[in-house]
Structure 1
Amino acid sequence: MKNLFIIITFIFLNSFTIKSESNVLPDGHYSAILDDEFKKKELNDFEFLIQNGKFTIKIDDKFEALEMEWLDENSFVVKGYTEPKSPNEFEKKLLKDNRPTFNIVKNVDNEYYFTLGQESDKSPIISGKFIKSLNSK
């Protein structure tokens, strides 16, 4: 009887799933505001547009449309920004073990807090927040 109780309890407790909050960025215009520690390293804020799976970034008053790939509901890569557009064999091997991703860590209204690097890294490449323009879709 004790074993039956343990099995039923185990099944009951495992029947609950942990729902992770999706932080997929909706289409629209964004400003990336970097944390102060990265601004002190002379890294700059930037702007981008997400539309139909394309990540169009403004760099030095020029716009470049790049491919955006969501890896899960909180992480994405931008080919040509977070990794090479067409990686060679050596780069593919490096990316297999260490693929830097934008990781959305929390969302408050139209602000998406992020890190760039491995999700488990304590020291990201950069961090800050994406602020969605209120005039966007």
Structure 2
Amino acid sequence: MKNILFILILVVVTSFNSVENILPNGNYRVTFDKEEQGEPFECTIQNDKFYLIRKDRTESCDVIWITENKFRVVGYLEPKNPADNPAGTNEHDYGYYEVAKIDENTYSYRVKLVSDDYVLFSGKFIKKQ
């Protein structure tokens, strides 16, 4: 009986702690605030996958949600295989997306370094209809 009560309490507590990600599944145009930061591109976010759509190819990357508005994209902002890390780098040397502001279907982001919150670049995820 105690085991059943413990499991019931655990289920109730964890159901209140689940957080919905601030950036919903869908198709996006990704832009940069400054032209020299990069070329705009298309992507699809589907749960824990980030499909990077370029002119000539589509890449599938893993999304690791840090909080409801922060996430890493393994295979885009950091290598898919840790063995591919340049010498002297570790996971703290890579960036993560932080959704800072939402205005209808536009999600303003900053890409920061894990190690010190230094902003590498910023821009917008614009949800396509």
Write the deviation string for residues 27-48 of structure 1: whole angstroms up to 9, x where unpaired.
100001111x2x1x27200110
Alignment of 1:60-79 (within 5 A): 60-79=55-74
1:59 equivalenced with 2:57 (yes/no): no
Give the conservation status (yes or no) of the 8 Å contact 1:23–1:104. no
How many residue pairs match? The answer is 109
Alignment of 1:1-137 (within 5 A): 24-35=22-33, 37=34, 39=35, 41=36, 43-88=38-83, 94-118=89-113, 120-121=117-118, 124-134=119-129
* Residues 1:118 and 1:63: Cα distance change in structure 2 (over 3 Å): same
Instruction: Give SS of 2:82's match.
Output: coil
Stretches of structure 2 that go unaligned for 5 or more consecutive residues are: 1-19
Q: TM-score, normalised by structure 2?
A: 0.72
Write the deviation string for residues 65-111 of structure 1: whole angstroms up to 9, x where unpaired.
11111111111111110111011296697334333101111111111
Stretches of structure 1 that go unaligned for 5 or more consecutive residues are: 1-21
Q: TM-score, normalised by structure 1?
A: 0.68
RMSD: 2.5
- Which structure is higher in strand share? 2
Amino acid at match of 2:32: L
Amino acid at match of 1:94: T
Structure 1 residue runs of 4 or more that deviate by more than 4 Å after TM superposition: 89-93
Give the conservation status (yes or no) of the 8 Å contact 1:23–1:106. no
Give the conservation status (yes or no) of the 8 Å contact 2:92–2:113. no
Identical residues among aligned pairs (%): 32
Shift of 1:61: 2.4
